[in-house]
């Protein structure tokens, strides 16, 4: 997964980098933990508070968190010491947004918490994003990272109202289907690429060209499946068994296959799990 994230970042950074010579930094550093490091020592080294360090690294807020050698920690600027490298942002419309050379503004809109498995997995994914940013830095590409914790039932409006959201060049997330449309519409409005690297439901990617997602429409899947059936079972006599599952998408496939069979002049039978034993057996009779 982490290798895929790095590759995706490289592609996006290549598309977004411009020729303007300037740099900004949202974070001081991405620190690799050494053997005898302590949380206090790291915070003291960068002149930040322990709370600031923990807020920048959600995983540190877990009750059972233990600092480990080799771990990557995001080091923020101290809120008490103004970051001279940060300047007022340029207008955020697609036409007037000013790109900074070799710098990509990355948004992460995922459940970053320790409440359940989703939050724990996405926190680990967030770590992968940070590692990808570190890899990009070694190649001369800087990143500004903005992260928002989106719970399953969270209202995305406050997040999208954050001025930093409009300045993102790409956003990773969300994890939950119902949050896709409002975020995707926001991204289309502001010219932002929305990357959804998870298998979630919803077909917004079919109508919004700002969404990048591994997705196969149900209609196309049904057509391809029907094609495969007609090619492999030309001499078969299909029997369709209705299992009375109203939540199933089977109707998309069975409807398409029946059309193909009828167009080819091939017969088939239909039965139902609630049919009498005699009627059910009759559907499978060759007579």
DSSP string, 73-91: EEEEPPTTS--TT--PPPP
Please give the domain boundaries of the chain with CATH numbers for all domains: 2-23+88-213 (3.40.50.2300), 27-85 (3.10.350.10), 218-283 (3.40.50.2300)
Find where tokens 């709370």 sit. 51
Using the 8-state DSSP alphabet, how is residue 205 labeled? G
Task: Record the pTM.
Answer: 0.51
> What's the rounded Cα separation, in Å, for the pair 23 and 2?
26
> What's the rounded Cα separation, in Å, for the pair 99 and 92?
10
Average pLDDT over the chain, rounded to whole? 80
Whether 114 has a pLDDT exceeding 90, the answer reads no
Token code pair at residue 38: 């302590």
Q: How many CB atoms sit inside 10 A of residue 245's CB?
A: 10
* CA dist list (Å): 122 to 32, 54, 284: 20, 17, 49
> What's the rounded Cα separation, in Å, for the pair 241 and 245?
11
Answer for the pair 42, 60: CB distance below 8 angstroms, yes or no. Answer: no
Whether 12 has a pLDDT exceeding 70, the answer reads no
Whether 107 has a pLDDT exceeding 90, the answer reads yes
Tell me the mean pLDDT in the region 51-77. Answer: 85
Q: Which residues of 178-209 are buried (b: 16+ CB within 10 A; e: fewer)?
A: ebbeebbebbbebebbbbbbbeeebbbbeebe
**H helices of the chain, where?**
2-16, 39-45, 50-56, 117-137, 157-161, 163-166, 180-190, 218-232, 250-263, 277-283
Report which of residues 272 and 205 the model is more confident about: 272
């Amino acid at each position: 997964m982490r290798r895929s994230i790095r590759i995706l970042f490289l592609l996006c950074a290549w598309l977004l980098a411009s020729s303007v010579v300037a740099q900004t930094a949202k974070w001081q550093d991405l620190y690799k933990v050494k053997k005898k490091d302590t949380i206090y020592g790291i915070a003291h080294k960068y002149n930040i508070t322990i709370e600031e360090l923990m807020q920048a690294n959600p995983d540190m807020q877990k009750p059972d968190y233990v600092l480990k050698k080799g771990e990557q920690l995001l080091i923020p600027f101290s809120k008490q010491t103004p970051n001279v490298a940060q300047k007022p942002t340029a207008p955020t419309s697609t036409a007037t947004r000013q790109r900074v050379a070799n710098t990509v503004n990355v948004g992460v809109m995922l459940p970053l918490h320790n409440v359940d498995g989703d939050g724990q997995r996405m926190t680990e994914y967030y770590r992968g994003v940070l590692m990808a940013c570190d890899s990009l830095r070694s190649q001369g590409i800087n990143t500004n990272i903005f992260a928002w914790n989106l719970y399953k039932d969270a209202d995305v409006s406050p997040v999208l109202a954050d001025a930093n959201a409009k300045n993102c060049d790409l956003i990773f997330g969300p994890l939950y289907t119902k949050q896709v449309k409002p975020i995707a519409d926001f991204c289309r409005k502001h010219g932002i690429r929305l990357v959804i690297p998870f298998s979630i439901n919803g077909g917004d990617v079919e109508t919004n060209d700002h969404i990048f997602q591994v997705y196969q429409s149900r209609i196309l899947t049904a057509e391809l499946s029907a094609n495969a059936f007609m090619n492999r079972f030309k001499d078969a006599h299909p029997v369709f068994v209705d299992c009375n599952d109203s939540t199933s998408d089977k109707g998309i496939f069975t409807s398409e296959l029946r059309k193909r069979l009828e167009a080819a002049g091939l017969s088939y039978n239909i039965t139902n799990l609630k049919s009498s034993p005699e009627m059910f057996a009759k559907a499978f009779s060759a007579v």
